[in-house]
Structure 1
Amino acid sequence: MNGWTRKNGHVVAEFSQQEAAVVRGLVGQIKDMLTARADEAPQDELSELTGIRTGPTTPPQDRVLGRLLPDFYRHDPETGESDAEDADAAGAMRSLHEPELLDRKTGVAELVLETCPRDGGRVELTGEQADGWLAALNDVRLALGTALDVDDDMPDELPEDDLRREHLGVYQWLTWVQDSLVDAVMS
């Protein structure tokens, strides 16, 4: 891939078979994680009567999924604590809003899977599709960055014996793909 370009109102890129496989594989894994979380939603009669879906009131236990579906309230930045009322309110907010968030995230993942050819090739996106790709790539980078413990102090290259070394290269490549797409959308 040489980066995204703008042509005739669309953003365009050419993916090799390996690049397409990486994008499709990682986006597919994120979609599967999000779908599994959606399947955990409680079933209640009021939801069935009103059509208003509810989600879990507790955050995901998995830290990667927790990064993709953060709490709907903030802890005190100095102490990291919150009071019980905040926790109750956060559970209610999560229950109300998580189903919609999951729909959006799985929707953009599906978009990437539909528009990224399995064997590589040309990807041509409208502005709306490009926004979906940006959201999906962001989710993949958040998940991978969490799994790799990426932080501001992490070096660009890890020692040979660090098991995260290969995956960090993928993370960096995805960062470049996302940055290239942002540049093309903004031009």
Structure 2
Amino acid sequence: MAGHFEATPDGGAAVALDEVEIAILRSLAVQLLELIGPGEEPTEGEDPLAALFTEGPSEPPADPALARLFPEAYGDEDRELRAASAEFRRFTENDLRTRKREDALTVVQSLDALSPAGDGGAVLALTADQSRGWLGTLNDLRLTIGTRLEVSEEEEGEDGSLYRLPDSDPRKPMVMAYLWLGALQETLVETLMP
């Protein structure tokens, strides 16, 4: 189980993590929460039904990582498609941000609930719902880090340059995190497949 998720009998997943891995995962999830933003709090006494229909932004985020997490729905080839994308974003981005925040909070809360063993590590056991939240956050973290590193498909392949970065390259720690998150994500996907 060390280093990869395994299916549990109840439909969830489990993984053994050492204290450094726990700290890294927690730190990355908190940074993702900060990137996504706090969200809109309903005004005191506001009609809950009205809050459901609050419109979001119509323009894509300026930050490339956020633009990757909240991409255009239809591209930007012509004015009509840009207008359709803006309309789609206006009615979906707030909900998508909320889901991404909830998933990242699931990661932070499940890591905070761990009881370390004598070696400082612990076994993280997730329910099926928590596993789906973790999967969403692992994907979001990889998209964010990959965007920041400007990773291309060629670099990511097993023969790609990401695997051959010299230790002196300042990107090396983030590349290692990116690759590790990919391995975690892959094994978690395998546990969720019937």
Q: For the superposition of Structure 1 and Structure 2, which TM-score range results when normalised by the shorter chain? A: 0.7 to 0.9
1:157–1:165: 8 Å Cα contact kept in structure 2?
no
Question: CA RMSD for the aligned pairs?
Answer: 2.3
Letter in 2 for 1:12: A
2:75–2:85: 8 Å Cα contact kept in structure 1?
no
CA distance in 2, matches of 1:70, 1:62: 11
TM-score under structure 2 normalisation? 0.81
CA distance in 2, matches of 1:165, 1:177: 18
Q: Deviations over 1:138-173 (max 9, x none)?
A: 000000011111112221121344321221111111
Structure 2 partner of 1:101 = 96
Structure 2: any 5+ residue segments left out of the alignment?
156-160
Structure 2 partner of 1:19 = 21
- The answer to whether 1:172 aligns with 2:173 is no
Q: Deviations over 1:56-93 (max 9, x none)?
A: 11110000111001012124xxxxxx222222222121
- The answer to whether 1:73 aligns with 2:74 is yes
Structure 1 partner of 2:6 = 5
CA distance in 2, matches of 1:31, 1:161: 30
Partner SS state of residue 169, structure 2:
coil
Q: 1:29 aligns with which of 2, 11, 31?
A: 31
1:184 Cα offset (Å): 2.3
- Paired residue total: 175
Structure 1: any 5+ residue segments left out of the alignment?
76-81
TM-score under structure 1 normalisation? 0.84
CA distance in 1, matches of 2:48, 2:15: 43
Larger deviation: 57-66 or 7-16? 7-16
Structure 2 partner of 1:112 = 107
2:75–2:82: 8 Å Cα contact kept in structure 1?
no
- The answer to whether 1:181 aligns with 2:188 is yes
Letter in 2 for 1:102: R
